[in-house]
Structure 1
């Protein structure tokens, strides 16, 4: 099986598109040196199927995807055909600290272990860039939502506030979906970031409350619900959700010892989305992945490379050809 390991933002044929936003949370002035502490988190175990168009695939909470965590591929195109175009994939991040020491987080088939664990990291203080077993377990899940679900909620809420709209007539038997009521807009107590998953703050009070009109932040541009022109989010704009169906989750590289690569942890918190659109064009044959990468450590990572490792198998797994278009940042198989 030919495996191409390349570090770049890439698209493979019409299958995969990646967008990455990176942040350094340590600021310009460095605080006292701390190290990412391994806290004994268990490997991420949760998996969710992404299936909204002509692709059916499996996404895991531990940084890897497109396989069943055993040996079988799970990137089926066309959906229902039994034909799979990829055996596995995972995000790779590597760079050097101020002393030139290599820091690396990468995942393949988990044959040696893991470099990623579920959940966010503590932002500052003595336990900066660390987490706990409890937080890892709590966030070992995907938060699955659709744009249509949010649209229906917004329509219901607008009707409920309009004296000329009969909400019982227009929305009989409607109840707010659990995923909207319990959206992970805020991080856990104990030094984690207060703001976590993207949400639209309708009343600008800084708190997520769907009973006041707040909702998981999909854009509705025609209604003025937008603050972000594209996936490459500028620092001064709020993150948003993408796609017609979205899997949102958060993971890190500091929950335990890096046993997949054997490298030193970086101290990264990664807020991820896997999403897809249901369309009548080529996008119906694609899935997309967005990573908001936050450096929770006290040092700046230099000479950093970020990309997706992929094992693409088109038909016979022994005769695949791989290439790249450097100008487009495009990989293909």
Structure 2
């Protein structure tokens, strides 16, 4: 089996379901210093990422978050809440050709156009391609699955290794998935008419974009990841190239935001000034992270710097295109800058020089940013943690030291480097959202989530699969709700997911010998076996050290998550916003009950060890009858009132970080009511049982049927038979 993608990098992706909004641009390109730009008709296409708790409007022209589709902020979080966290965002590329600055940016409008460099028409092949992992079950239902543009560079799995994309079900091949939703598109900046933001000539780049996310209940459900493959098609070197991530993050109310960065994490972020009119007293924080910056040669200073691990002798080097490159390093975030809507000094850039200045870590007017706490210049604006801020003069440089909260934009950048003719660069970054108990603990939560995201990148997103969400059937009476999930339980309860992050303990033996006449072993909890009084100076000790933290040497065997049980939740809203209560847990009878783990607690603003699963060796059940309101003091359910429930599957890995994985939360709106087509359930009630009559055979076994939904009982007779399977190795029914 072979996997194909641009420049042979192994990538797995995720995409969102979208709605087409197509416009046709008839733009005539003019020659630009021998570039030979041709007249083209190109299609702009918009779509939507909605693969987890983020809903994001985007376009295939550099606008990763687009306000142009709806007229309001382009990113909603949580999905379905009608609360918005990011107005607009895009990727910026700037560099110098012959000493002149050129740009290709996605801001409030695009300087990119759809399609690969030199494309002749704006056909449908230049669209956003959106696929979901669920499409594997019904690949014919997805046009994008069937028409996946492998020939343009979209990553795919060549199952039959013939080099030709032959999609399922007629063939064996499929798009390459890393998460649960993937979007892919290609764009270029060759249309000079589209360079209307900073009014430069085209850089001459083609950019292949992959965007993906994970539908999980943990922190990964609040992240989007992006890979950009940037190819210089101009025939000329682009010197002093800088790649920027630009954002206008209106976090709820646009007028009360602050920004900052964490240099060690390569993280730039936006947080609220206290409570927010939209998000309330606990507004989230949003951040961007460069997980993989541009790949550049190591310099002497890098080798002398022991903290620069990529450049140390014997190091495999920086990462790009799925492989390590000795003698090379990945550039981290090189600067973080802010500007403020309406500010006379910290203003939006008006031309290419001002834009390039901001991308270089200085003000648009060309003067440096000055740390108001130290008086020193800085490329990283507000790099101190706002949780440590006590006011002006405390040595902690935060946004509020210099300006009142307001409508912020920021640019986080990586560079400069030379993008040689026909050369390419691959960068990977992410957008992350986290929520604490208030604006400041949300920043702490964001940094914790960012470290998890970094770990995912470090293993090239080979995350263990989440458990399967149960297929729930709903029944109701006038005052009760009946949930059952018998269908598809084999997939849920046979869940096993290999975990390449967390390894089995690696024994390390220490043997100190004086005289070998007596040997005492040490158990795996490092307790010496044998009475202490027998230990003398002529004793050999053999110690086994048990590693209980992540094995970063990757020497131990992989571990696995396996099925452990089901959780039933009641929620306050259909979006998951508001209160959430676990009303039942049904787990295996195997001695594994309550599961504790280290998690970030928003109340305390720090990581604590707490209970995360509430098993009790109850035994697995696949149904529940609910007749009380768990969110309202257990009062009886009311007829025709909307209630919100979800059933999840959870798995367990005693060595895992985290130790438990849970399936996505599929929220159901249910109203207790009696359907008009139903008669009275006079012969059975919910949870009643029916004993079977043993009609034949000598077995002393018995069968008992349990009624889940009395209104679904048909009155028919059923027969249960037992027999050996085809090879007589097991008894089946």
Conservation of the 8 A alpha-carbon contact between 1:63 and 1:90:
yes
Superposed displacement of residue 287, structure 1? 1.9
Superposed displacement of residue 138, structure 1? 3.4
Q: Aligned partners of 2:217, 2:115: CA distance in 1, in Å? A: 36
TM-score, with structure 2 as normaliser: 0.30
Counterpart for residue 225 of structure 1: none
Conservation of the 8 A alpha-carbon contact between 2:205 and 2:233:
yes
Counterpart for residue 120 of structure 1: 116
Q: Deviations over 1:61-81 (max 9, x none)?
A: 111132331641121111121
Counterpart for residue 200 of structure 1: 157
2:119 is the alignment partner of 1:131: yes
Q: Aligned partners of 2:123, 2:65: CA distance in 1, in Å? A: 22
Superposed displacement of residue 214, structure 1? 2.1
**Residue segments in structure 2 that go unaligned for 5+ positions in a row:** 1-31, 271-733
Aligned pairs (5 A) from 1:103-182 = 103-110=102-109, 114-121=110-117, 130-132=118-120, 134=121, 136-150=122-136, 152=137, 175=140, 177-182=142-147
Q: Aligned partners of 1:146, 1:289: CA distance in 2, in Å? A: 16
Tell which structure's C-alpha radius of gyration is larger.
Answer: 2
Counterpart for residue 249 of structure 1: 185
Q: Helix, strand or coil: the match of 2:135?
A: helix
Counterpart for residue 56 of structure 1: 55
Superposed displacement of residue 255, structure 1? 3.0
Q: Deviations over 1:172-218 (max 9, x none)?
A: xx85743332211114xxxxxxxx21112223332222344222122
**Residues 315, 212 of structure 1: alpha-carbon distance in 2 compared, 3 angstrom cutoff:** closer
Q: Aligned partners of 2:74, 2:125: CA distance in 1, in Å? A: 23
Q: Aligned partners of 1:43, 1:330: CA distance in 2, in Å? A: 35
Q: Aligned partners of 2:39, 2:204: CA distance in 1, in Å? A: 15
Superposed displacement of residue 35, structure 1? 4.1
Superposed displacement of residue 149, structure 1? 2.0
Q: For 1:216, which of 175, 179, 184 is the aligned residue? A: 175
Q: Helix, strand or coil: the match of 1:85?
A: strand
Superposed displacement of residue 278, structure 1? 0.5
Q: Helix, strand or coil: the match of 2:108?
A: coil
**Residues 35, 323 of structure 1: alpha-carbon distance in 2 compared, 3 angstrom cutoff:** farther
Q: Aligned partners of 2:247, 2:55: CA distance in 1, in Å? A: 17
**Residues 138, 255 of structure 1: alpha-carbon distance in 2 compared, 3 angstrom cutoff:** farther
Q: Helix, strand or coil: the match of 2:134?
A: helix
Q: Aligned partners of 1:144, 1:52: CA distance in 2, in Å? A: 10
Q: Aligned partners of 1:206, 1:296: CA distance in 2, in Å? A: 25
Q: Aligned partners of 2:49, 2:34: CA distance in 1, in Å? A: 36
Q: Larger % of strand: which?
A: 2
Conservation of the 8 A alpha-carbon contact between 2:48 and 2:57:
yes
Counterpart for residue 217 of structure 2: 280
**Residue segments in structure 1 that go unaligned for 5+ positions in a row:** 1-32, 122-129, 154-173, 188-195, 219-241
**Residues 37, 86 of structure 1: alpha-carbon distance in 2 compared, 3 angstrom cutoff:** farther
Q: Aligned partners of 1:68, 1:139: CA distance in 2, in Å? A: 24
**Residues 319, 73 of structure 1: alpha-carbon distance in 2 compared, 3 angstrom cutoff:** same
Conservation of the 8 A alpha-carbon contact between 1:118 and 1:137:
no
Aligned residues: 235
Which structure is higher in RCO with an 8 Å CA cutoff and minimum separation 6? 1
**Residues 175, 287 of structure 1: alpha-carbon distance in 2 compared, 3 angstrom cutoff:** closer
Counterpart for residue 597 of structure 2: none
Conservation of the 8 A alpha-carbon contact between 1:36 and 1:266:
no
